[in-house]
């Protein structure tokens, strides 16, 4: 009986060590963070950069308040991690897959274009701040600002 237990443990450890790490490159991730002055945390589907199984950068749209670099963090097997920028901003990350998932999974994706790259909307909110929605419209406006 103990021989089978030893074999089971051996194969279990072997299978854990064979799990592949993501190749270097860009990936789609859900990024949760607190904006200055906001009452609730916000989340965005963003592209993140991976190198040597470490998340090394979050590619935010223009006008993101924290422009400091992040401290590279090893990506666990479940793809959920927390990173901290050099300015102290905390980001909770959940890896989602290929970078195309950020574009095709976007609620603001235009039906007119299927291969366009998503960018931050150029529209302004009621309080004068730049809209946080992503769009692939050629005019740079999301569905809400496109008709105005």
- Do residues 56 and 94 share a domain? yes
Domain assignment of residue 48, given as a range: 19-101
pLDDT tens column, 26-39 = 888 999 988 777 78
Calculate mean pLDDT across residues 28-54.
86
How far, in Å, CA of 122 to CA of 10, rounded? 56
**Residue 14 domain-assigned (yes or no):** no
**Residue 7 domain-assigned (yes or no):** no
- Do residues 26 and 95 share a domain? yes
- Do residues 86 and 112 share a domain? no
pLDDT tens column, 71-107 = 899 999 889 999 998 888 899 999 988 888 777 544 4
- Do residues 115 and 144 share a domain? yes
CB 45 within 8 A of CB 33: no
**Residue 31 domain-assigned (yes or no):** yes
């Amino acid at each position: 009986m103990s021989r089978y237990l030893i074999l089971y443990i051996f194969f279990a450890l072997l299978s854990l060590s064979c799990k592949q790490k993501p190749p270097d490159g860009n990936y789609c991730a859900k990024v949760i963070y607190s904006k200055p002055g906001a009452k609730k945390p916000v989340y965005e589907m963003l592209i993140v950069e991976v190198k040597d199984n470490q998340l090394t950068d979050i590619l935010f749209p223009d006008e993101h308040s924290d422009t400091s670099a992040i401290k590279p963090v090893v990506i666990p097997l479940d793809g959920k991690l927390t990173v901290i920028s050099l300015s102290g901003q905390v980001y909770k990350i959940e890896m989602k897959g290929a970078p195309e998932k950020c574009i095709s999974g976007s609620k603001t994706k235009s039906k007119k274009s299927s291969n366009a790259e998503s960018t931050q909307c150029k529209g302004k909110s009621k309080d004068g701040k730049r809209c946080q929605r992503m769009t692939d419209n050629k005019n740079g406006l999301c569905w809400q600002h496109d008709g105005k």
